[in-house]
Amino acid sequence: MCGIVGYVGQQNASSVILEGLKRLEYRGYDSAGLAVLQDGKLEVAKHIGRVEVLAKAAAPHRFHGTTGIGHTRWATHGGVTDANAHPHVSSDGKFALIHNGVIENYGQIKKFLLSRGYTFKSETDTEVLCNLIAYHYAKEPAGGQGGFPLLECVRKTLRHVEGTYGIAVLGIDFPDEMVAARKASPLILGVGDGENIIASDASALIGRTRNVVYLNDGELARVPPRNFTVSTLDQTDVSPVVDQITWSVQDADIDGHAHFMEKEIFEQPQALENTMRGRFSADGSTAQFGGLNLTPAEFRQVDRLQFCACGTAWHACLVAEHLIERFARLPVEVDYASEFRYRNSPLDRNTLFFVISQSGETIDTLGAMREAKRKGYRVLAFNNVVGSSIAREADGGIYQHVGPEIGVASTKAFTSQLMLGAMLALYLGRLRDLSFNDGVEYVNALKAAPGLVRRVLEQAPHIRAIAQRFAAASDFLFLGRLSLHPIALEGALKLKEISYIHAEGYPAAEMKHGPIALVSEKCPSVFFAVKGEIFNKVVSSMQEIKARKGPIIAIATEGAELPPGLADEVIPIPDCHEAVLPIVASIPVQLLSYYIAVERGCDVDKPRNLAKSVTVE
Ligand code: F6R
């Protein structure tokens, strides 16, 4: 979603901001803009389209100031127009502001400001903020002649605001500072040497500093080049904690790949190693986690688990449900975070709550987590982004450790979430009835996962050829059973989000109850046909598709005996332990979707309408 970069220091602010905005492009946006303080004025450029368009307009000779703010906008209130792009400037020309989030009571505020003579140029909710800051500045004793500090005007403004925000503000009477504030929209302060940066995402500032302060909800920062301060809406000073980002700028680089998505697909063996590192017991029979903050005895009190997440992470919850119920014999509920937070579902007393979120900023997942905590439940999280809102608000959790995921379509974060779900199932199973020997076998199987994934990745050229054959299809079905039903859902999601082909995931046997109506020569079905007790049932479902002339792509266990001629294409995957199977089976659908999207000329890393981290409801 929208991205924020602000700079105050000694360098040309527009260059630093444009560099940061380029690194935020992956979040999804439709317009970009920046404002720089120079010669006692605000110089502004903003345009619909890519950051390159903005970069052309913001030539360094025009933008020479050393304090500035920049933004990439993903439209919520108001269409995609130059006027609606950020920064917005107050009608008296004194303040510029960028904003992520939604101001819910902007209608009332706008009415008030109009009655006081302020004017508006855009249809956005954001523009009320800069005008309200201007109003507070002008109202103060000295009549805006050096009266109230910028920080206080912003603070007063935010006290009237309902909704969510991450903002950065400049004022022409405050040449060497910016003010930033957040509520439910991430904001990080990068602390440099004689310079400071504000960003909505660490990747925007990692090229300049690794020392960061994660602002908390309800906090404001006054940011000059040195000696920033943090305080709350009710004027309490906060002692900021400076953290270190552990990954490097290279981790966020494309590294010779055509797309970040391709890079991240091929990084998965290493990512899985990183997720597992140091997390098995010395006797090799179970998993161990440092940050769950629950003792084994407390885990034994748990009767039920509730998982919540969105999108791909929700699919990871479904796989965790399968494995935990199978190996730990504990009942698991899975809910969409967006539904859970409003449907007031009855929860058993001894329920342990888990949320899964790569970004740790998805507003619905955060909302579900807060709702569970409000009801007194303990909430644990699987999360990739260190210092994210979910990581900080959870009662405990497990970091995925897969490095930054830049491709909008999640790949390495997903398989790492599958790995953590499998490890959790093992841990809980070993606290109950899973034997030592079964535990050892399970651990060895997990340790083998990176190697198995590597073997599937070697089939990339074969999968690319299949993608070329079917890239013109208008519909796809993805069909799998048991733990591979969520992978069928994930395959369908991956394909539709990056190639814009209509795709549906279903449990293979459910296909007869509706989706079979879609089947034709133009609608390929991707089947997971893996060895085991339901193999023959899946083969029967394949026969039913074949009888209706539907092309079949079978992702089948090596050596599985499919009737000759049943599948039009076969992608073999290694035979493996049930806990690892969803991980291994994910790779072919990721590659298939990726190559189909490339074949169709789609912008894989920036799919239309999508955002990497969904920070609005
Ligand atoms: C799809 C995808 C999304 C995310 C979802 C949740 O490829 O990436 O469906 O999984 O928006 O995001 P996180 O995990 O950041 O909460």
pLDDT at 455 over 50: yes
pLDDT at 26 (0 to 100): 76
Q: Fill in the DSSP letter of residue 280.
A: B
Segment 506-548, tens digit of pLDDT: 999 998 898 889 999 999 999 999 999 899 999 999 999 999 9
Segment 20-51, tens digit of pLDDT: 999 888 777 889 999 999 999 999 999 999 89
User: Span 119-125, mean pLDDT?
Assistant: 95
Segment 243-283, tens digit of pLDDT: 998 888 778 888 899 999 999 999 999 999 999 999 999 99
Residue of the CA atom closest to atom 10 of ligand 1:
312
The sign one gets for the Cα dihedral 356, 360, 365, 371 is positive
User: Span 344-352, mean pLDDT?
Assistant: 92
pLDDT at 147 over 70: no
For ligand 1, is residue 557 a contact (CB within 6 Å)?
no
Is residue 186 within 8 Å of residue 388, measured between CB atoms? yes
Across 462-507, where does the E strand assignment appear? 475-480, 502-507
pLDDT at 205 (0 to 100): 93
Give the predicted TM-score (pTM) of the model: 0.86
For ligand 1, is residue 362 a contact (CB within 6 Å)?
yes
Instruction: Give 615 Cα–ligand 1 centroid separation in angstroms.
Output: 11
Across 40-139, where does the E strand assignment appear? 41-48, 67-73, 88-89, 95-100
More confident residue, 24 or 600: 600
For ligand 1, is residue 357 a contact (CB within 6 Å)?
yes
Instruction: Give 312 Cα–ligand 1 centroid separation in angstroms.
Output: 5
Instruction: Give 607 Cα–ligand 1 centroid separation in angstroms.
Output: 13
pLDDT at 399 (0 to 100): 96
User: Span 347-373, mean pLDDT?
Assistant: 95
- What angle is formed at CA 382 by the lines to CA 379 and CA 385, rounded to 5 degrees? 115
pLDDT at 501 (0 to 100): 97
pLDDT at 146 over 60: no
User: Span 62-88, mean pLDDT?
Assistant: 93
Is residue 584 within 8 Å of residue 574, measured between CB atoms? yes
pLDDT at 144 (0 to 100): 47
Ligand 1: atom nearest CA of 312 is 10
Exposure on the CB side of residue 529, measured as CA atoms within 13 A: 28
